[in-house]
Structures are given as C-alpha cells and as structure tokens.
Amino acid sequence: MVEVKTIGLFFVTAVAEILGCYLPYLWLKEGKSIWLLLPAAFFLALFAWLLSLHPTAAGRVYAAYGGVYILVAIGWLWLVDGIRPTLWDIVGVSVALVGMAIIMFAPRAA
C-alpha cells in the first residue's frame, strides 16, 4: 500500500512541476499572458511541498521521482502536445520506471 501511495504522490508532484514549467513556456514561446506566471509560481511551490511529503531521504526521493516524471512528461507529450509516443519513448519510460522502483522500494538495512 505504501508503494501505491508513493507512486500516486509522485504523479501529482509531476503534474504540478509540469504545469509550473509549461505555463511560463506558454508565455515565453507562445505569446500568452504574463499572468500565467502567477499560477506557475503556485504550481512550482506545490511541487516542492509535495516532494517534502515523502518519508525517505530527499536525494532518494528526487532520484526516484525522475522516473515517474518521465512517464508523466511522455503522457503530456501525447495528451497536450498531440504527439503520439514512439516505441523508443515507451522503452525509455519503462527503463526509468524500473530504475525508480529499484531506488525507492529496494530492501534497505535499518
């Protein structure tokens, strides 16, 4: 159950980070309103707070989070950018998720 909660928290964290970065991108590259920076700042602060909710060492959380972030980013590529992931995208995500699982859930000495 802890694993499901951890991965779910990683998913929410990844969406917050992507929104925190995507909104300024829209302003900088797409000419959208500068007011997008306000929700962007909120989402980046939310991202940092969400990472702090994990009960393990920060470095381990940051390293493992990267695997889920890659999965969510490829999902964003498909759902928001309208670009279907390639086989190599899927292979890369799979490798990243295996790495995340090893980092986060491997048995450790107390």
Q: What is the pLDDT of residues 59-88, one digit of tens each?
A: 888 888 899 899 999 999 999 999 999 999
Q: What is the pLDDT of residue 83?
A: 97
Q: pLDDT tens across 2-23, in order?
A: 778 888 898 999 999 999 999 9
Q: From residue 27, how far is each of 6, 40, 41, 45, 51 by CA, in Å?
A: 32, 10, 13, 19, 26
Phi and psi, residue 85, nearest 5°? -60, 145
Residue with the bigger pLDDT between 56 and 73: it is 73
Please answer whether residues 74 and 96 qualify as being in contact, where contact means their C-beta atoms are separated by less than 8 angstroms: no
pLDDT averaged over every residue in the chain? 92
- Give me the pLDDT at residue 110, please: 64
